[in-house]
Each structure stands twice: as structure tokens, then as C-alpha cells.
Structure 1
Amino acid sequence: MTRRFTAIGTNTAFTCAHCGLEVQPLTNGSVRNHCPGCLHSLHLDVFPGDRASDCGGLLQPVGVEQHSKKGWMIVHRCQRCGHDGRNKAALDDLRQPDDFEALLALSARAGG
């Protein structure tokens, strides 16, 4: 069964497990799932926003893709279990947008 949804109540502030940045919730109605500074995340979801994964490993940004409808997508790889996932970049957040320079640097490193 495939299902995709965003759980209500998961757009909360957190401290980045990689760089320690205090990360604020998104202001555009979506769910913040990665650090806007270093672009790292945690493997907490099976489907976006569900917080159903029991892994909890650090998701390292390993690439960038352009999606025709979603825009910039950050490709993450879990350092614990090897899971690959994608998160939409939050470049338009008014309070704490993703660092565009970090996204460009990631794109250059990944050859994207």
C-alpha cells in the first residue's frame, strides 16, 4: 500500500542533530524536515510527516534534484540504514529559508 500525507502537528521547532542550529517551523503551511543551514535531517518518517520510522539515523544531504512541480529537492542518505529519501527545499520560507549557497554547494559536490 502506498500512501502519502503530512501529519498534523509535526511542524515544530527542533535543534539540528548535525550542526546544532535552532530550527524554526515553516511558515508556509508545510512541515520542516531538515536543517535550513546544513541541510541535514533525521530518519524519522516512513511517509512524509508520519514520524513512523524507528531508525532515527542522521540523514546526510548527498544530492540535489529539480522536480517539475516541487522545485528543488534535497536527496538524503541515512547514515544508519542507507535509506535514500528526498525533501523539498524550503527556499521561500519567510522566517528561516534554506541556505541557497549550501544548496548550490551540495549541487556542485554531487555533480548535479
Structure 2
Amino acid sequence: MSRTAQNQGFTCENCTTSVMPLSNGSYRNHCPTCLCSKHVDIRPGDRASACHGMMRPQHVERRRGKGLVLVHRCVACGFVRPNRVADDPVQGDNIDAIITLMASGR
């Protein structure tokens, strides 16, 4: 699958936000408003998962070389995947939602 085909906008199935693709050369894999994702990959970018369950943010970690990382868990199958926080001038992640998640201690 080409990089352009992987970096597509979408409508968040959790909060219905219209999400634009990232403009910084990276991929968007979660909603910048509610921070939810969707279980569509087995390996990042392959779109090979048959699950398609909602991935809810569980907690935030700071990783060397990657910055803040959201850790998502699929509500359907329990799959866990870390995703970098999107730093995008057009539609960046909701910092208030990230701070709330960090403060919750989950």
C-alpha cells in the first residue's frame, strides 16, 4: 500500500470529528479530538486486521526519541498498540484531552 493511500482523512467513529490527514509527512492513526483509534492494522500501515474494533486511549507515555505516545487498547479484542501523539499545525492533538488522560493515571 502506498504512503499516500495510508495517509487518508476519516470521520471518527467515536465522536464524529472530520479528521484531516497529517500534513507533516507522517500518518494519522487516531482522532485528534477524542484520541480514539480503530483496530485496522496488524502491523502499522498494513490494514490487515479483521477486528475493526474501537481503540480507546489507556494512558500516555514519554518515550526517548518519540516524545509523547498514546497507548490504545481495542475494546473488541484487547489488542494494545502505542501511537505517537500527532504534532500537526493544521489539526494537532487535543492537548487538554492528553493532559486529562495523563492526570487520570491510567
Q: Which TM-score applies when normalising by structure 1?
A: 0.89
Query: How many matched pairs?
Result: 105
- CA deviations 1:63-86 (Å, max 9, x no partner) are 000010111000101000001111
The change in CA–CA distance for 1:73 and 1:27 in structure 2 (over 3 A counts) is same
Letter of the 2:74 partner, please give it. Answer: C
1:86 is aligned, of 64, 82, 85, to 82
- Identical aligned residues as a percent: 48
| Alignment match of 2:30 (pick from 34, 46, 50) | 34
Query: In the alignment, residue 63 of structure 1 is paired with which amino acid?
Result: H
Any residues of structure 2 matched to 1:93-108 within 5 Å, and which?
Answer: 93-108=88-103
Distance in 1 of aligned mates of 2:2 and 2:34: 24
Output the CA distance in 1 between the equivalents of 2:14 and 2:96.
18
What is residue 16 of structure 2 aligned with on the other side?
20
RMSD (Å) for aligned C-alpha atoms:
1.3
Give the counterpart of 2:42 among 31, 39, 46: 46
Secondary structure of the residue aligned to 1:108 is helix
State how far apart, in whole Å, the 2-side matches of 1:97 and 1:53 are: 26
Q: What's the CA shift string for 1:68-107, capped at 9, x where partnerless? A: 01110001010000011110001x2011000111101011
Gaps of 5+ in 1: 1-5
Report whether the alignment pairs 1:70 with 2:75. Answer: no
TM-score normalised by length of structure 2? 0.94
Shift of 1:7: 5.2
Read off the aligned partner of 2:76 and give its amino acid letter: R
Q: Which runs of 5+ in 2 are unaligned?
A: none
> Which letter maps to 2:71?
V
Runs of at least 4 residues of structure 1 off by over 4 A?
A: none
